[in-house]
């Protein structure tokens, strides 16, 4: 289980208004010419948008760390700019490509030794207890992110892993707008990071549509996120993107049952908070839908429907109490009914992501959301081999050492001449 993030001090300015766009699958009707014998019937031609081939995540095994002429720390051809955040096993820094200051990335820096020391007992596919360390979770996260390519999901661009080094680097998409709201643990509620920005229903509709499309893509590809919350929804331009796949899980096509709990307490579904209902497992997709509903509630009301003075109190309230909507917020009946529709406490009656996309409120001022989702029909498969090979292995580096050497030297040539300095440690 996790906990709600602590209050942040710095303020980010975000904008999430997204203009509705027509579906790229709009048909273009063109009458065919009739033959002289009039036997040929008119045909309707439909222009179909062909998705572009997805770029693969780059894998690099040599990490050159040094300083440039301005004294800035560098990793290969990335120049570090500023510190973004700290996690349990590493930190995140803002960086840009050398010579391209506008091409920015968020680089997650992890210590493999620290990850290996963090262990827990889990059940394998046969129900046996086995020991798992946090490095295996990172390997799974990388395997998942290497497969998913969607406009409403934060992307992984490169993994830099030198087997002789303790550092592992994940080069991620940087969402310059950051979070819209943050949790205040002292007050027990959310607050807007930009007080001047109004979260109108038009803004919320655009935000919610992006979240629905991102989660729909995950569920279609048999992935459950397991930690949906406002802090994991980031803004890039006018687009909302789901982030943080650290506890995400690949599930079966017909069986998405989970037998343990992950994520943040306030967003856990009722069926996972009750020992009697949780002992036989629960649906991972239905749990994601519940967390999505709580996330929408939080964006709308800047609070969560279930709180408590302790973790057991929170879980008991989620399991036993009904959702109560605050009276001091003026929202439309349509939005309130939309959130209530999602937050069905019975997981068997809880709507699927496709059913949510059909709701009248989410479609009242934009193109049909289900049609947009149907366009994104590419399905990815994530195997155990993908997880095992999520980042470089020593044996692989030995076999292809010449290729990796050529790749690294080529990268540095593109970056331009470097001032000869000794290698440094990226902290």
Which residue of the set 227, 256, 288, 386 is catalytic?
227
CA separation, residue 205 to residues 16, 176, 191, 385 (Å):
10, 21, 19, 39
Q: Which tokens hold the place of 371?
A: 């049609």
Q: Among 338, 347, 350, 351, which Cα is nearest to 270's? A: 347
Contact present, 185 and 118 (Cβ < 8 Å) = no
List CB contacts of 205: < 8 A, sequence separation 6 or more: 361, 362, 364, 365, 366
Q: Among 361, 355, 347, which Cα is nearest to 373's? A: 355
CA separation, residue 117 to residues 2, 134, 142, 303 (Å):
18, 8, 19, 36
Contact present, 154 and 175 (Cβ < 8 Å) = yes
List CB contacts of 293: < 8 A, sequence separation 6 or more: 339, 342, 343
DSSP 125: T
Is 256 annotated in the active site? no
- DSSP string covering 183-216, please? EETTTTEEEESSTT----HHHHHHHHHHHHHHHH
Q: Name the burial class of residue 195, with classes exposed (0-12), middle (13-18) and buried (19+) by CB atoms within 10 angstroms of its CB.
A: exposed
414 known member of a binding site = no
Q: Which residues are documented as binding site for ATP?
A: 108
Q: Which residues are catalytic, by number?
A: 227
Known binding-site positions: 108
């Amino acid at each position: 289980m996790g906990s709600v993030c602590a209050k942040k001090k710095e303020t980010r300015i975000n904008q999430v208004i997204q203009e509705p766009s027509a579906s790229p699958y709009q048909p273009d009707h063109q009458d065919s010419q009739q033959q002289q014998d009039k036997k040929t019937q008119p045909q309707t031609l439909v222009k179909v948008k062909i998705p572009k081939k997805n770029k693969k995540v780059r894998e690099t095994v040599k990490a050159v760390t040094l300083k440039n002429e301005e004294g800035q720390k560098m990793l290969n051809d990335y120049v570090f700019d500023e510190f973004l955040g700290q996690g349990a096993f590493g930190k995140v820094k803002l960086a840009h490509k050398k010579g391209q200051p506008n091409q920015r990335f968020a680089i997650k820096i992890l210590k493999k030794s620290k990850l290996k020391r963090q262990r827990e007992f889990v059940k394998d596919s046969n129900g046996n207890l086995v020991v798992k360390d946090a490095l295996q979770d990172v390997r799974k996260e990388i395997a998942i992110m290497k497969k998913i390519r969607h406009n409403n999901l934060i992307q992984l661009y490169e993994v830099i892993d030198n087997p002789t080094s303790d550092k592992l680097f994940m080069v991620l998409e940087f969402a310059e707008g950051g979070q819209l709201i943050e949790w205040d643990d002292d007050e027990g509620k959310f607050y807007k990071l930009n007080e001047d920005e109004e979260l109108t229903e038009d803004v919320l509709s655009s935000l919610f549509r992006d979240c629905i499309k991102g989660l729909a893509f995950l569920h279609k590809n048999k992935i459950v996120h397991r930690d949906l919350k406002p802090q994991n929804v980031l803004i890039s331009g006018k687009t909302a993107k789901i982030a943080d796949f650290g506890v995400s899980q690949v599930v079966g096509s017909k069986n998405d049952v989970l037998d343990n709990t992950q994520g943040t307490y306030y967003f856990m579904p009722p069926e996972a908070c009750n020992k009697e209902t949780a002992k036989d497992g629960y649906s991972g997709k239905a749990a994601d839908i519940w967390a999505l509903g709580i996330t929408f509630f939080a964006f709308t009301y800047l609070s969560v429907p279930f709180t408590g003075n302790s973790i057991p109190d929170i879980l008991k309230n989620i399991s036993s109490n009904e959702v109560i909507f605050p009276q001091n917020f003026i929202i439309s009946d349509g939005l309130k009914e939309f959130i209530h529709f999602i937050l069905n406490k019975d997981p068997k009656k809880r709507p699927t992501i496709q059913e949510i996309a059909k709701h009248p409120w989410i479609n009242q001022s934009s193109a049909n959301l289900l049609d947009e989702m149907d366009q994104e029909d590419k399905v990815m498969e994530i195997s155990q081999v993908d997880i095992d090979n999520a980042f470089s292995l020593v044996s692989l580096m030995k076999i292809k050492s010449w290729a990796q050497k050529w790749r690294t030297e080529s990268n540095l040539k593109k970056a331009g001449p470097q001032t000869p300095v000794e290698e440094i440690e990226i902290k």
